């Protein structure tokens, strides 16, 4: 999320000049140490590399590998890939996606999330089902996964900051979840909430700028749209913590901030709910947040996007290329892209 504040990494993460960074990457390549998408600015503190530093990098690489292969104990059910959802570009490499994240509960540094997020305890995990629903109750995450069908989908994800990725998610179509829990006829919106655990998530420590927990919302029609996914996995395994383990939303036609991570509450409500970013910076982040190349962010254009890993630029597509699935939801409204 790009916000108009001094970011932590302005102070600690960008101390390395581009040229120095490139030469360090070359050194690491020569040394046979694969660092993938890591920006180890703390480790890469000087130009002369000692064997201790190389060893530290190798150990960071191991930690990253471990973070991408979660051993959380959460249930994970693999499903077949649904061929209906196709991509117009290659998949983003797993490491690139796992080392460049937005998860402000841990840090505002995208390259720092994967490491800090490992302190989150994701098993056991429950979700409070509340509001206008047949039987409000506490759901065990493992029970949901075993009960409902999972499938794999290749989706693009476009962040409001103009970077994008294309990844294979595993998950439960949210419509199947709704059919199971049976919202009442009064339910007009769905509200989603993330954990609030300052002891596990350093970015939630008292005194930080944000009004935790993170919360999001959808209209009931958006929630029931076939694209809306309750994601439990990525790249063929359970979600790593940095991607929002054990369960998150994925809404590929909306800017990424709608795809709320690590859900602890799903509430069916009568009124339009408040949302985290809309409350924090209402002039910049709306409730609907449909990807729209013609609607610039107040501080930057949304006409193009930069793909993770390759940094290749592409023109932004209306609804991130998912118009055929969603344009009926917004026809004739200011939210149409």
Binding site for ligand MTE (CB under 6 A): 1, 101-105, 159, 194, 214, 243-244, 256-257, 259-262
Sign of the Cα pseudo-torsion (182, 184, 189, 190, in order): negative
Nearest residue to ligand MTE, by Cβ distance, number only: 256
Q: What is the closest distance, in whole angstroms, from the C-beta atom of residue 222 to ligand MTE in the complex?
A: 16
Cis peptide preceding 291, ω within 30 of 0? no
Closer residue to ligand MTE (CB): 109 or 150:
109
Closest listed residue to residue 232, CA positions, set 75, 91, 123:
75
Token digits of residue 168: 């294979």
Closer residue to ligand MTE (CB): 132 or 262:
262
Cα distance between residue 319 and residue 115, in whole Å:
32
Closer residue to ligand MTE (CB): 49 or 261:
261
Closer residue to ligand MTE (CB): 72 or 101:
101
Q: Which residues of 307-328 are buried (b: 16+ CB within 10 A; e: fewer)?
A: bbbeeeeeebbbbbbbbebbee
What are the CA-CA distances from residue 214 to residues 81, 170, 191, 210 (Å)?
30, 23, 11, 9
Q: For residue 243, how many other CB atoms are within 10 A of its CB? A: 28
Closer residue to ligand MTE (CB): 144 or 166:
166
Token digits of residue 186: 């009064």
Contact between 302 and 296 under an 8 Å Cβ cutoff? The reply is yes
Contact between 145 and 263 under an 8 Å Cβ cutoff? The reply is no
Q: What is the closest distance, in whole angstroms, from the C-beta atom of residue 310 to ligand MTE in the complex?
A: 16
Q: Taking the C-alpha atoms of 315, 318, 322 and 323 in order, what is their torsion angle to the nearest 10 degrees?
A: -140
Q: What is the closest distance, in whole angstroms, from the C-beta atom of residue 98 to ligand MTE in the complex?
A: 8
Q: For residue 35, how many other CB atoms are within 10 A of its CB? A: 20
Cα distance between residue 79 and residue 150, in whole Å:
5
Name the helix (H) or strand (E) containing 232: strand 229-234
Q: What is the closest distance, in whole angstroms, from the C-beta atom of residue 219 to ligand MTE in the complex?
A: 19
Q: What is the closest distance, in whole angstroms, from the C-beta atom of residue 179 to ligand MTE in the complex?
A: 25
Q: What is the closest distance, in whole angstroms, from the C-beta atom of residue 318 to ligand MTE in the complex?
A: 19
Closer residue to ligand MTE (CB): 28 or 195:
195
Q: What is the closest distance, in whole angstroms, from the C-beta atom of residue 40 to ligand MTE in the complex?
A: 19
Closer residue to ligand MTE (CB): 53 or 244:
244
Closer residue to ligand MTE (CB): 76 or 257:
257
Q: What is the closest distance, in whole angstroms, from the C-beta atom of residue 103 to ligand MTE in the complex?
A: 5
């Amino acid at each position: 999320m790009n916000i108009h504040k001094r970011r932590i990494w302005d102070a600690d993460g960008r101390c390395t000049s581009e040229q120095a960074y490139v030469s360090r990457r070359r050194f690491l390549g020569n040394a046979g140490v694969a660092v993938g998408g890591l920006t180890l600015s703390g480790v890469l503190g000087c130009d002369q590399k000692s064997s201790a530093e190389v060893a530290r990098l190798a150990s960071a690489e191991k930690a990253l590998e471990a973070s991408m292969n979660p051993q959380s104990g959460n249930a994970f059910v693999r499903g077949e890939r649904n061929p209906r959802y196709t991509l117009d570009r290659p998949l983003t490499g797993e490491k690139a996606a796992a080392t460049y994240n937005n998860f402000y509960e841990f840090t505002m540094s995208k390259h720092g999330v994967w490491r800090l997020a490992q302190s989150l305890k994701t098993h056991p995990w429950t979700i409070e089902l509340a509001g206008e629903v047949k039987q409000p109750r506490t759901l065990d995450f493992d029970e949901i996964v075993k009960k409902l069908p999972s499938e794999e989908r290749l989706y693009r994800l476009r962040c409001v900051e103009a970077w994008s990725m294309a990844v294979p998610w595993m998950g439960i179509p949210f419509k199947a979840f709704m059919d199971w829990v049976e919202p009442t006829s009064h339910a007009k919106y769905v509200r989603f909430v993330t954990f609030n655990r300052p002891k596990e998530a350093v970015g939630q420590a008292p005194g930080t700028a944000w009004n935790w927990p993170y919360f999001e919302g959808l209209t009931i029609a958006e929630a029931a749209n076939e694209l809306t996914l309750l994601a439990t996995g990525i790249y063929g395994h359970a979600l790593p913590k940095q991607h929002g383990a054990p369960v998150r939303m994925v809404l590929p036609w909306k800017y990424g901030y709608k795809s709320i991570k690590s859900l602890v509450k799903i509430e069916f409500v009568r009124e339009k709910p408040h949302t985290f970013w809309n409350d924090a910076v209402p002039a910049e982040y709306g409730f609907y947040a449909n990807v729209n190349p013609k609607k610039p962010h107040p501080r930057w254009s949304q006409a193009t996007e930069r793909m993770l890993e390759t940094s290749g630029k592409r023109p932004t597509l209306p609804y991130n290329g998912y118009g055929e699935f969603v344009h009926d939801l917004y026809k004739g409204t200011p939210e149409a892209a």
